Amino acid sequence: MEGDEVTDMAERPPRRRADAQRNEKTLLDAAAAAFVASGIEAPVRDIAARAGVGVGTVYRHFPTRADLVVAVYRHQVEACAEAGPACLANATTPYAALARWIDLFVDLLVTKHGLAAALRSDDTQFDALHSYFLDRLLPVCSQLLDAAAGSGEIQADLAAYELLRGVGNLCIGAESDPRYDARRLVGLLIAGLRQPGGPAEVPAEPGQQADKPG
């Protein structure tokens, strides 16, 4: 992702002060840490303190909290979005690709503590964040869902929006609770998708009903 920077051999574009750039990085790290520790609504002053800068500096770089949150997670979101087509290309079936990609999405949410919280917030202040997430990830998820539906592995009628939201919800609080394995529950959800007759119905097929554990 940082590879983009190498293209400019000269300093043509409006040169940024070195300390400003350092600060931005420091701020993003500090904000990420603060989000983990205090949630997405961590006081600006705390973030500034963690970064060792004044509050004004935070506001200069990120005028709104949403700007900050988006910036904190942009790299990961981008990587996740770009992984979608790769999953499709490499997996044995579209359904496997979907499962794999959802797994990456779960990684994103679980390891970046505040993210799931940010997504669930209905504070209008985070609308921009919601939009960004959906803009970037909905198309990817849609493509995978469509492919899996096209191959007949899953039903066709689950919207990508709903799936993303559900997976996002399942990941809330996962990082702080050792008794809760979000990845496993997401796995159940994805497995549920594969039910031919819909979630509430039992398929009348031999071989799917009789296996009894132990």
Partner DNA sequence: AATGAATGAGATTTCATTCAT
Partner DNA sequence: GATGAATGAAATCTCATTCAT
Contacting residues toward DNA, per CB under 7 A: 16-20, 23-24, 41-46, 52-57, 59-61, 64-65
From the list its own copies, DNA, none, which binds 16 (C-beta under 5 to 8 Å, kind-based)?
A: DNA
Cβ-based nearer residue to its own copies, 25 or 151: 151
Q: Bin 39: left if φ > 0, else alpha if -120 < ψ < 50, else beta.
A: left
Distance CA 103, CA 166 (A): 13
User: Is 125 a binder of its own copies (CB under 8 A)?
Assistant: no
Cβ-based nearer residue to DNA, 60 or 136: 60
Among 100, 143, 144, 145, contact with its own copies (rule: CB under 8 A): 100
DSSP conformation letters of 40-53: TT--HHHHHHHHTS
From the list DNA, its own copies, none, which binds 146 (C-beta under 5 to 8 Å, kind-based)?
A: none
Our measurement of the distance from residue 129's CA atom to the centroid of its chain's CA atoms, rounded to an integer in Å, reads 11
Which two structure tokens, joined as six digits, stand for 198?
Answer: 């819909």
- Rounded to 5 degrees, φ, ψ at 48 are -60, -45
Q: Crossing angle of helices 160-170/94-111, nearest 10°?
A: 40
User: Is 4 a binder of its own copies (CB under 8 A)?
Assistant: no
Cβ-based nearer residue to DNA, 59 or 180: 59
Among 36, 55, 138, 189, contact with its own copies (rule: CB under 8 A): 189
Of 6-14, 18-26, 42-50, 89-97, the window that binds its own copies (rule: CB under 8 A) is: 89-97
Helix, strand, or coil (residue 64): coil
Cβ-based nearer residue to DNA, 61 or 113: 61
Cβ-based nearer residue to DNA, 92 or 124: 124
| Nearest approach, Cβ of residue 176 and DNA (Å) | 19
User: Is 87 a binder of its own copies (CB under 8 A)?
Assistant: yes
Residue from 158, 162, 167 nearest 102 by CA: 167
The interface with its own copies within residues 25-84 (CB under 8 A) comprises 83-84
Q: How many CA atoms lie within 13 A of 79 on its CB side?
A: 13
| Nearest approach, Cβ of residue 212 and its own copies (Å) | 4
Distance CA 170, CA 7 (A): 40
Among 22, 25, 45, 194, contact with its own copies (rule: CB under 8 A): 194
Distance CA 145, CA 147 (A): 5
